[in-house]
Amino acid sequence: MNYINRLKTYQKIFLFSILIVVAISFFDILSMNSGIFGSQEDYTHGNFDGLNWWPLFYNLNVGMIILLCLSYYWFGRKDFSESISLGFGSVILWFGAVPDVLFFWLRGIPVPSELPWLGGSPIVRSVMESLGVNIVTNITIYLSSVISLVIVYYLTKFLVKKV
């Protein structure tokens, strides 16, 4: 616990943002294991049998992020810039494919070589286009994850100090 106390505020917010996307990954795994959205194999490969899975998943995760940011503000330090940093950081990591990488790693399986259902993320799509590929690959989401982690680290550092 002494380690946490020695961290600077922006570093704590950065770690909390990572914990939020870990929670998103666990929620994703629970959704897959529920069987509501098809078999585990179909779910893992983005086949949801015409079910409206994404709007539900999206709304629950956005709600969780908003609730955690408001809770941080109301019950925590009452610092607007830190709450905003937490929200932006979590969303950037989420759309930067960090929870998608964790979805596979936490289950102990390799990330598939192709993940075409992730092409809707603006961050992943930008990386995909920069690499000159037409489909999302495991390299694309690894690179997207690293880029989003770096962006969130420095964005959090900036927002906590400036806003």
End-to-end CA distance of the chain: 28
pLDDT value at position 56? 79
Report the pLDDT averaged over residues 128-143.
Answer: 93
Sequence-distant (≥ 6) Cβ neighbours of residue 156 within 8 angstroms: 10, 13, 14, 17, 85, 88, 89
The answer to whether the CB of 85 falls within 8 A of the CB of 155 is yes
Domain edges within the chain: 8-162
- 55-86 tens-digit pLDDT: 778 888 899 899 888 888 888 777 788 888 88
Average pLDDT over residues 45-60: 73
| pLDDT of res. 111 | 93
User: Which two three-digit tokens encode residue 96?
Assistant: 């930067």
Split at pLDDT 50, 70, 90, the class of 2 is low
- Residue linked to tokens 């999206």: 58
Give the percent of the chain with pLDDT over 70: 91
Whole-model pTM? 0.85
Looking at residue 48, what is its pLDDT? 65
CB of 40 within 8 A of CB of 33? yes
Q: Who's near 48: CB < 8 A, 6+ residues apart? A: 37, 38, 42, 54
**Contact yes or no for 103/28 (Cβ under 8 A):** yes
Distance CA 83, CA 68 (A): 9
